[in-house]
Amino acid sequence: MGSQARIDKYSPLDSQDAKWIKLDKIDWTDQAGVSRVWEVASRKTRGSTGVDAVAIAPIILRPNTPAAVLILHQYRPPVGAMCIELPAGLIDPGETIEEAALRELKEEAGLVGRIVEVSPTICSDPGMTTANMQLVVVEAEMAEGEELGKQDLQDSEWIETEIVPMSKLLDRLLELSKEGNVVDSKLYHWAYGIRFAMQNAAKYKLDGPAS
Amino acid sequence: MGSQARIDKYSPLDSQDAKWIKLDKIDWTDQAGVSRVWEVASRKTRGSTGVDAVAIAPIILRPNTPAAVLILHQYRPPVGAMCIELPAGLIDPGETIEEAALRELKEEAGLVGRIVEVSPTICSDPGMTTANMQLVVVEAEMAEGEELGKQDLQDSEWIETEIVPMSKLLDRLLELSKEGNVVDSKLYHWAYGIRFAMQNAAKYKLDGPAS
């Protein structure tokens, strides 16, 4: 990686001058029949799938090592900081969710895997944006000591990969956060859920009969 | 709940006419020293805490029942559908994260709880927005058969609550999704992490030594 990325300037942007995103006013009628207004930001790039983006939870399996997760370090101008995220990307025209997931994982991390599970379409920030996505869980087998393949990044992309033991994922995210990185909320919630279940199975009776 | 909410009209909105959100162009310099442009949506409401919002993971503990989670059903104009979410809200001026969390939980769900854990500041959708948040885990004890307190909603809020056994949370979210609701990505990732750890502890050696 070269020197540090930096923000030089913010300037107001009108929707019609933007290439990627826009603002809209929504006139809507609530459950009581009252007319109301909401303001929303959207991506201009959503295609025929109706889904903006895919995120990938890449599980790395090695013969003698507990399962690990691949995460990315990436400077994000909207946050003005290095962000810690799952591999993710927008869906290209004509692409399925599964194709986009395997392509992004290969490009961003040099990793080839097989799809284990695909989530329904979920919304990213439903009070503010139309943005939506699907989460694809991918398993990839690697030999002990094997390294990730070559990334295939665009000129504008600088992405570092890190492989973290799954049982220590939350600890690592908290450490990276303390060091000044900003963790993506979806990665954090997933890691927190894993740790939460590991620690609280007995206290919360997660194995017991649910009622 | 009254009749169904609906979208009547979308119209383009300029940042200067918007009350809640805005678009900006970011001029930034990448790690190679190349000048680049990024487009970003932001909330206009961020206050002195530097954090836009809080989400609450409310764990309900009853004497003879496995732990449960409180989730919300709420019509969201940006998504044009009923969304399934954790309780959440923007942080009021002068409020701490902890105060906002307990206030929102009381207002949206009529539930009083105690804070167990507060996440670092995490970013909501770092490729598109500056939006950030903190996740606050809250435990609330209820008697068997006790009902939630009265909600304290604004005129424009219609929120239904549901209590779901934690071990069945992901199943319930998938069911609600099939019925046409849209699940929030953060709630989904947390629920998925819980289920993931419950199902895969042995396969992924989550209890073994991490390396």
| B126 within some domain | yes
Task: Check CB contact under 8 Å for B77 and A23.
Answer: no
- Please tell me if residue B177 touches chain A, with a CB cutoff of 8 Å: yes
Query: Which pLDDT value is given to residue A208?
Result: 47
* Residue B206 near residue A66 (C-beta atoms within 8 A): yes
pLDDT at A55 > cutoff 70 = yes
Residue from A17, A21, A23 to probe the interface with B (highest B Cβ count within 10 Å): A23
Residue A33 belongs to a domain: no
Position B1 confidence tier, pLDDT thresholds 50, 70, 90: very low
Phi and psi, residue B22, nearest 5°: -155, 160
Q: Which amino acid is at A61?
A: L
Question: Is A207 among the domain residues?
Answer: no
Domain that holds residue B159: 46-199
Measured between alpha carbons, how far is A130 from B115 in angstroms, rounded to an integer? 31
Q: DSSP letters of A37-81?
A: EEEEEEES---TTS--EEEEEEEEEETTEEEEEEEEEEEETTTTE
Measured distance CA(A149)–CA(A164) in Å, rounded: 17
How many CA atoms are closer than 13 Å to the CA of A69, on its beta-carbon side? 25
How does B22-60 read in b/e, with b if 16+ C-beta sit within 10 Å?
A: bbbbbebbbeeeeeebbbbbbbeebeebebbbbbbbbbb
pLDDT of residue A2: 52
Per-residue pLDDT tens digits for B114-143: 999 999 999 999 999 999 999 999 999 999
CATH of the domain at B121: 3.90.79.10
> In angstroms, what separates the C-alpha of B129 from chain A's closest C-alpha?
6
Task: Confirm whether A30 is domain-assigned.
Answer: no
Q: Are A135 and B188 in contact (CB under 8 A)?
A: yes
pLDDT tens for B62-102 read 999 999 999 999 999 999 999 999 999 999 999 999 999 99
How many Å lie between the alpha carbon of A146 and the closest alpha carbon of chain B?
15
Nearest CA in chain A to B28: A7
A197 contacts B198? CB cut-off 8 A: yes
Strand partners, A123: A132, B184
Cα end-to-end distance, chain B, whole Å: 52
φ/ψ region of A196 (left if φ > 0, alpha if ψ in -120 to 50, else beta) reads alpha
Both structure tokens of B136: 């606050």
The answer to whether residue A78 sits within a structural domain is yes
Residue A76 has which token pair?
A: 């994000």
State the Cα–Cα distance between residues A72 and A86, nearest whole angstrom: 6
Q: How many CB atoms lie within 10 A of CB B153?
A: 12
Is residue B207, in this structure, part of any structural domain at all? no
Residue B72 lies in a domain: yes
For B36, the closest of A16, A123, A156 (CB atoms) is A156
pLDDT band at A202 (very low <50, low <70, confident <90, very high): confident
Check pLDDT > 70 for residue B187. Answer: yes
- B24: left (phi > 0), else alpha (psi -120 to 50), else beta? beta
Provide the shortest C-alpha distance from residue B92 to chain A (in Å).
16
> What is the number of structural domains in chain A?
1
- Three-class SS of residue B129? strand
Is residue A49 over pLDDT 90?
no
With CA atoms as reference, the chain B residue closest to A182 would be B122
Q: Which of B76, B4, B120 is nearest to A122 (CA)?
A: B76
Confidence of residue B2 (pLDDT cuts 50, 70, 90): low
Start-to-end C-alpha separation, chain A? 52
Q: What is the mean pLDDT of chain A?
A: 93
Residue A180 banded pLDDT, cuts 50, 70, 90: very high
**Structure-block tokens of residue A42:** 């959207």
Tokens 């998938």, located at residue = B174
Q: Which chain B residue lies closest to A83 (C-alpha atoms)?
A: B126
CB contact under 8 A, B193 and A188: no
Residue A188 near residue A142 (C-beta atoms within 8 A): no
Q: Kindly report the number of other CB atoms within 10 A of residue B116's CB atom.
A: 11
Which residue out of B183, B204, B211 would a mutagenesis test of the A interface target, given it has the greatest number of A Cβ atoms within 10 Å?
B204
